[in-house]
Amino acid sequence: MKTTSLAHMPIGLVDPQKSSFWRPVRIAGAFILAILLLFGFVGPLIVSFDPLAQDYGAVLVGPGHDVHWLGTDHFGRSMLARLVHGAQLSFIMACVTALSAAIPGIALGIFAASRGGWVERGLVALSDIVLALPGLLLVLLLLAFAPGQFWPLYLGLALYLWVEFFRVARIETARVLQLPCCEATRLLGFGNVYILKRIILPALAGPMMTLFAFAMGTAIIAVSTLSAIHVGLRPPTPELGAMIVELMPYYSEAPLQVLMPAVVIFLLVLSLQLLAGRKS
């Protein structure tokens, strides 16, 4: 007689009416993000211009120039080359930051819910302490040790963003561990590793993907904001927020050059927000 494998038990945790991930809103977000990724990662293979190369014979020229398709900035640097490298830099920084926050946050959340007791209380207290500090203040404290460098930005944002992953992972894990399927799995002799792989992690996948997209959007906005107040990545690094600040004094002469990096930031964050849409 054929028996039903316990490996399929987690399927029962999913509501069939809410199991579809690729809804129209998320498809739109994925499409926008794919275009931006092609622009940022394939663009350097097509655009041969150095984003730092200056051409004082073509300063603040508008889009449609024979050589510089999207015009140049106040130093005669190609806007297309700088936007391509800026989009790539923003996405990489956001992805690395979100990963560095998600991995320890999820692991500690699962550990806290599984162990309970003083371990859980201690980790919850630690997360409350981190939440008591404004996120940008934590980044600014680290930037004081290495102004204009990447690692304090990355580390400060990761230290702040891990809390959300921890809180959601802890709550979801505690809920899943109380389900009858977990108790039945234990009675059948399966260990904690099996429960983690087959029940807990599949249940966490949806909420964590949503949080990851939100975390990437938060990181992009935070890095651009810090560059706008001159404490982020320093010029001439082609960072989108820094590009806006550099070009702002020339807004009346070249408004499109100011708007271009702002549009790229907007589209990056919009695509991530659409991908993180609710499952309603």
| Residue 2 falls inside a structural domain | no
| Residue 89 falls inside a structural domain | yes
| Residue 109 falls inside a structural domain | yes
Contact between residue 10 and residue 180 where contact means Cβ atoms under 8 Å apart: no
| Residue 50 falls inside a structural domain | no
Contact between residue 169 and residue 111 where contact means Cβ atoms under 8 Å apart: no
* pLDDT over 90, % of the chain: 35
| Residue 254 falls inside a structural domain | yes
Evaluate if residue 60 carries a pLDDT over 80.
yes
18-43 pLDDT, tens per residue? 445 668 888 899 999 999 999 989 88
Beta bridge partners of 78: 72
**Predicted TM-score (pTM) of this structure:** 0.83
**Number of structural domains found in the chain:** 1
103-160 pLDDT, tens per residue? 999 999 999 998 888 988 999 999 988 888 777 777 878 877 777 677 878 888 888 8
Closest of 53, 103, 56 to residue 204, by C-alpha: 103
Domain that holds residue 173: 84-265
H-assigned helices in the chain: 24-37, 43-46, 79-115, 117-132, 135-143, 150-177, 180-187, 192-195, 201-228, 240-247, 255-275
| Residue 122 falls inside a structural domain | yes
| Residue 33 falls inside a structural domain | no
Closest of 152, 120, 166 to residue 223, by C-alpha: 152
185-225 pLDDT, tens per residue? 777 777 778 888 888 889 898 889 889 999 999 999 988 88
| Residue 240 falls inside a structural domain | yes
Distance in angstroms (rounded) separating the CA atoms of residues 112 and 175: 13
Write the CATH number for 215.
1.10.3720.10
